[in-house]
Amino acid sequence: MPRTPDPVATSVAGGGADSGRAVSPAVADGRVTDASRVPYAAAAHVAADGSLGIRAAGLVFQNPIVLAAGTAGYGRELEGVIDLDALGGLVTKAVSLEPRAGAPAPRVAEFAGGMINAVGLANPGVEEVLRCELPWLARNLRRARVLANVVGFGIDDFADVVARLEDAGELDGYELNVSCPNVKAGGLEFGADPKALAALITRARGRTTRPISVKLSPTLPDIVGSARVAVDAGADMLTLVNTLPGLIIDVDRRRPVLGFGSGGVSGAALLPLGVLATWKVTRAVQVPVIGVGGVASGRDALQYLMAGATLVGIGTAAMREPRVPERVIAELGRWCSKHRLKSITEIIGTLEWPQ
């Protein structure tokens, strides 16, 4: 069943598809007084509906909060727990060409700064996702946007998964997880290899007209450089950041707590890294950014927005407490009212850097 347009989308986007290049009324009206402080990503890619509605890469989100990849499965897992359709959107768990069993248990562990995980990109593979998961999303989500998180281990894998998912026609866009090893070329992470990064994005780009976000790792030696490569190759958005490699040791057993050994660190510890990456990248490239890492409150989300993000992802905090995303949306609404803002877009990129 085709997903119906969001009423916000109709009012904001004039009911039709657009290039996402419209100037925000908030900015165009001059309500953001010092436009020079607003990164052009914000000025050029958002549109306001007078509240929390926001536009990114031609898609209209009813609010800026999305569930981060891999932390909400394919949505079905949260049925009856939260109202998914009240969120801005959901990024699915990874989808690979073939099914992946993933890493041995235990796959996640908590620590004071957040969580460490080694799930190993476990997923049922693209055919099963098409058969079982996307139909559920199509039946149940009308207003929340859905991006499929795509993973590959060779350059063509990404384009092949996108091409298969295009058959379903029910997704709003894609998020390419390029923080995984290019197994077919020595194991260097795609995001850290400009040639491979450009090639995989160009190929995926050729298989869809829907928006593509490219998700980068906080470990990249030059995240701004990688972001530029991604945008030049056709990325419509960037997602910043993925997890950070780490190791937690169970000292009684003298063994890693995770079955795989090392894992990816997420949660509170990532917040300042993600905010800095967002600030650096949004000043350098002209596409919207989904800021992810460590968000657990409205004030955390505001940090990403002020740093220049257009959307904000929540993962670990929502795994711990599924109602966190709804609470963050409510807190953003209250903050806008308290500060007499007509639109959340007025906050984007308004960080004032010390001179």
Ligand X SMILES: Cc1cc2nc3c(=O)[nH]c(=O)nc-3n(C[C@H](O)[C@H](O)[C@H](O)COP(=O)(O)O)c2cc1C
Stretch that binds ligand X, among 35-43, 68-76, 247-255, 322-330 (CB under 6 A): 68-76
> Which residues are paired to 214 by β-bridges?
176, 238
Residue whose tokens read 């898609």: 59
Q: Which residues contact 348 (CB under 8 A, 6 or more apart)?
A: 38, 39, 42, 46, 305, 306, 308, 309, 310
| Amino acid letter for position 227 | A
Q: Least distance (Å) from ligand X to the CB of residue 87?
A: 14
Q: What angle do CA 315, 318, 322 make, to 5 degrees?
A: 150
Of 48 and 296, nearer to ligand X (C-beta) is 296
Q: Is 129 in the site for ligand X (CB under 6 A)?
A: no
Transcribe 33-89 into DSSP letters: S-GGGS-HHHHHH----SSS-EEETTEEESSSEEEPTTSSTTSGGGTTTS-GGGSSE
Radius of gyration for the chain, computed over Cα atoms and rounded to the nearest angstrom: 19
In the list 191, 294, 308, 349, the residue contacting ligand X (rule: CB under 6 A) is 294
Q: Is 258 in the site for ligand X (CB under 6 A)?
A: no
Residue 289 CB-half CA count within 13 A: 39
Residue 224 structure tokens: 């701004």
CA 181 – CA 343 distance, rounded (Å):
40
Letters for 146-185 (x = contact with ligand X by CB under 6 A, - = none) are: ---x---------------------------x--------
Residue 267 CB-half CA count within 13 A: 19
In the list 13, 46, 56, 69, the residue contacting ligand X (rule: CB under 6 A) is 69
Q: Is 108 in the site for ligand X (CB under 6 A)?
A: yes
Stretch that binds ligand X, among 28-36, 112-120, 132-140, 159-167 (CB under 6 A): 112-120
CA 155 – CA 320 distance, rounded (Å):
34
Of 32 and 290, nearer to ligand X (C-beta) is 290
Q: Is 270 in the site for ligand X (CB under 6 A)?
A: yes
Which residue of the set 176, 180, 216, 269 is catalytic? 180
Of 9 and 147, nearer to ligand X (C-beta) is 147
CA neighbor of 98 nearest in space, from 179, 168, 154, 53: 154
**Whether 336 is catalytic:** no
Q: Least distance (Å) from ligand X to the CB of residue 331?
A: 16
Q: Is 303 in the site for ligand X (CB under 6 A)?
A: no
Stretch that binds ligand X, among 58-66, 247-255, 283-291, 293-301 (CB under 6 A): 293-301
CA 161 – CA 129 distance, rounded (Å):
11
Q: Is 242 in the site for ligand X (CB under 6 A)?
A: yes
Q: Is 282 in the site for ligand X (CB under 6 A)?
A: no
Q: Is 215 in the site for ligand X (CB under 6 A)?
A: yes
Residue whose tokens read 């409150």: 297
Of 58 and 315, nearer to ligand X (C-beta) is 315
Of 240 and 347, nearer to ligand X (C-beta) is 240
Classify the C-alpha dihedral 341-342-348-353 as positive or negative: negative
Q: Least distance (Å) from ligand X to the CB of residue 288?
A: 16
In the list 9, 94, 146, 275, the residue contacting ligand X (rule: CB under 6 A) is 94
Task: Enumerate binding residues for ligand X (CB under 6 A).
Answer: 68-71, 93-94, 108, 115, 117, 119, 121, 149, 177, 215, 242-243, 266-267, 270, 292-295, 314-317
